[in-house]
Chain A
Amino acid sequence: MDKSCATTGNSGPKVRSDCQITLSLKNEGGISIELKSKVETLYGDSVRSLCLKMLRCLGIENAHLEVVDSGALPFVIMARLEAAVKKLTGTGMKFLPDFPEDNMYSTARDRFRFSRLYLPGNTPSLMINAGLHSADGIILDLEDSVAPEKKDEARILVRNALRQLDFRSAEKMVRINQGERGMNDLDSVIPQNVNLVLIPKCESPENVREVANHIREITAGSGLAYPVYLMPIIESALGVELAFDIARADESVVAMAVGLEDLTADMGVRRTREGNETLYARTRIVNAAKAAGIQPIDSVFPDVADMEGLRNNVAVSKALGFEGMGCIHPRQVALIRQGFAPEPEEIEKSKKIVRAYEAALSKGLGVVALGSKMIDPPVVNRAMRSIDLAVRLGLIDSEWRNESSDEIQQTS
């Protein structure tokens, strides 16, 4: 293989919002750039000057650069070019896009994680508008959706996407690779305000602790202040048996997911629509998660076209105790959110509990009661979360307290 030439990115008739970069290092002659761009008239000059600036920054003085641009945004071009340079020189230097303040935020440990939308980590066109679909979480996937030879460039692309893209308060998640590669993934993405890391094919508490410790090293070293939560994914029979230990392996674990494709493969059974073959695994994972005080999250539903199947799947999931599931397409998000959302009776009951709690507070009472029934603080918390969720889902008005209610009762 020619060590002086590297190609990164993608091109082709179906590729959009991406570019393919071929960089050839030379011994002399300075830098020459050959750009074929769908947006030459509007952005040709700006693409050329960005590439030139980057190459200089990364210490490249003599090279020929070919760019086939299908309307890539600057952060994509930057990722592709950095990856090409890294392939050739092994440089540790980075060329980071801006990180607008609006894109930096933290999430809460107990936030809702009903829907988390998987995005292949090397496909920019699917990332750009991902924040618009109201998923609770966005997963930039470095693992199964990225071909082995594209892992290094995907890592840079995901890093840049985390800085540049506005995911509109969705929890920013990254699914890292297993083993050593996963540690490298963490080095690259953790400093970019990742909210949660998914650990694939998790089979032991050590898998979790290794990731947790590595994240702590990175954050401690760089003085980063935001929390980074963990969601191990159980995808093997062994993982299922150790689910409880995995769930409580580290305090940063907030949820535990099940991956049914790999699990059924590991068990040597066929995945069916009814899912009887994984019933034990799923209920065990739900129980382990509940026992550890974290959220159990169901697998993805693989057939995007089958909305009725998805609806049934969500209903079963919720009934088993899962508190969310993965989405492989934005079209699944609304149905999943709706499915896991509190039902009307639950909302009405929560309203009463919250009203009773607030009434008790205003009177300085330590005990909340509804009718003759005492209400424990976790029930109040849960009711508040249901209300909060119902408001966020647009099921009730944020001013619901102003609605008339004649059912408030209270003991003194």
Chain B
Amino acid sequence: MSIPTVINAAGRAVPTEINGKPAIPFRGIGKYRPSGNKYGPPIPSCIDFPPDGNKVVATLEEALLRCGLRDGMTISTHHHLRDGDLISNSIFRIASLLGVKDLVWLPSASFPCNDPVIQYLEDGTINRIEGSMNGPLGRFVSEGRMRGTAVLRSHGGRVQAIQDGEVRIDIAVLVAPSADSFGNAKGTGGSSACGVLGYAKTDAMYADKVIVVTDNLIDVPCLPMEIEGNYVDCVVVVDKIGIPEKIVSGTTQITKSPDRLLIAELTAAFLEKSGILKDGVRMQAGAGGTSLAIGVFIHEILRKKGWKSKFGFGGSTKYMVEMLEQGQMEYILDAQAFDLESVASIEKNSGHVPYPVFNAYNFHSKGNLTSMMDIMILGATEVDLNFNGNVVTHSDGYLLHGIGGWQNCLHARNVILPLPLFRDRIPVIVDQVTTLCGPGELIDVIVTERGIAINPLRQDLIESVRNSGLPITTIEKLKLEAERICGKPSLPRFEDKIVAAIKWVDGTVIDTVRQIKK
């Protein structure tokens, strides 16, 4: 039985119903306006909680049972422990042993350490994942083996969906490097420090039940209270919540690849010569090797010119911390720390401020923080001739990445994608993206090692770098060059079955991923 689809405003066939719930097709950027009220969880009362504030229960299983774990519930988790997370899988192991079925897992992202949940997808404990998938998990879903349909959302889209009641979290399991017995929690301290709990705040506010799991129980009050205990039902103390060396990379490294360095150098030169980089600039870049290198080049330019960035959004890295400490950046507003230097910086630098950026990414809120940013450096697996971007599938059609904050960040004033023209033999610039994640209207510049293409919608940028000596070209020429070198690629073939829906930042469906044809 196939679900009826309609063609949305981006020209993609999308379903009007996902997992038995109605879905709104993408209507265009800024075209869908929500109505109604925000979702509210049931009203609790303190009379149901111990007057001494001690909410500690013996085991995670007991906590889950107290929170009423049963078939069909939605369980949320967060990825601030990244690949070192030891708790998410155990939730489903417990559920499986208890014979609970058809759970919905709502992670803010999954990592390779979460691959063991495949067995719980297979045995029916989990019906579906609404969140990012990569590696074997992505392959499992792409091959049509998950019962329900995956729903992929951006970080801001996840907040939007929770706030709007599109997803109702029955139990949020919130892993905290430090917490007290009342449930106040933070991302620092203990042996599993991750820096910030940026993803978890929304879940604490909107989930029906909240469990805090920690391996570092400290006396009340746990300060700062990133998560306030008033939202928390139970606290569980375990031996270990995570594997420290997999939580933060010991240290992030700029790329050593000469080709990526060249792309980074060109990107920085573009930002300088176009005038986008200026005193007071607001900027954000990721923690990938190329982005880090761009940050280093930008730092040099700021220093040379005597300029200062007003603030940068983290994902923080030691390279951002260097800008802060050397006076080329005033504030780091930080949702997640990528390396140990950043974790340390949060504790020692007053300008390095934990900030739930992902709330600010929420499209259904009073203003859009990302649209205030001057420079946004992002990646993509593919970009097409209309500047549309794909971040969730590879050109072979397999789900391999989550959306992260990517869609939210597209609203910045200048969105720059530094990309290799091809990866091994796989062209990055293609006729049409395999999966549409971001409309081309929002993507301004593609910087490759073989030239820079500017979106024709940005005549101002095209004008700004005329006679700059930069290798400015067109997206069509880049595509032809990629094909000249790599050959014209065949396209992946798909079955009709929709294995994943891709949500836009406003909760509408922008595209789908279909099952790979074997």
Contact = CB atoms under 8 A, between A and B. Distances in A.
Interface in A27-47: 38-46
Given A132-B259, A330-B258, A42 B395 contact: yes
A17 B489 contact: no
B492 to A, nearest CB: 5
Contacts of B395: 41-42
B424 A331 contact: no
B449 A132 contact: yes
Interface residues of A, number: 24
Interface string A37-77: 01111111110000000000000000000000011111000
Nearest to B396: A41
A216 interface: no
B424 A46 contact: no
Nearest to A168: B450
A41 B139 CA distance: 14
Interface string B279-290: 000000000000
Given A132-B262, A133-B258, A46 B487 contact: yes
Contacts of B425: 17, 38-39, 42-43, 71-73
Contacts of B423: 71
Nearest to B485: A73
A331 B490 contact: no
A41 B490 contact: yes
B51 to A, nearest CB: 59
B225 to A, nearest CB: 45
A329 interface: yes
A394 interface: yes
Nearest to B258: A330
A interface, over-half SS: loop
B435 to A, nearest CB: 14
Contacts, number: 61
A128 B423 CA distance: 11
Nearest to B265: A334
Given A39-B489, A42-B396, 11 more contacts: A39-B396, A39-B425, A41-B490, A43-B487, A44-B490, A45-B490, A71-B424, A129-B258, A129-B259, A331-B258, A394-B469
Nearest to A117: B258
A168 to B, nearest CB: 10
Nearest to B425: A71
Contacts of B58: none
Which secondary structure dominates where chain B touches chain A?
loop
B429 interface: no
A41 B397 contact: yes
Contacts of B258: 129, 133, 329-331
A209 interface: no
A16 interface: yes
A70 B425 CA distance: 8
A133 B262 contact: yes
Interface in B468-486: 469, 485-486
Contact of B489 (A42, A132, A331): A42
B261 interface: yes
Contacts of B450: 132
Interface in B437-492: 449-450, 469, 485-487, 489-492
Interface in B374-401: 395-397
Given A133-B258, A329-B258, A43 B489 contact: yes
B194 interface: no
A73 B217 CA distance: 56
Given A73-B485, A73-B486, A74-B487, A38 B424 contact: yes
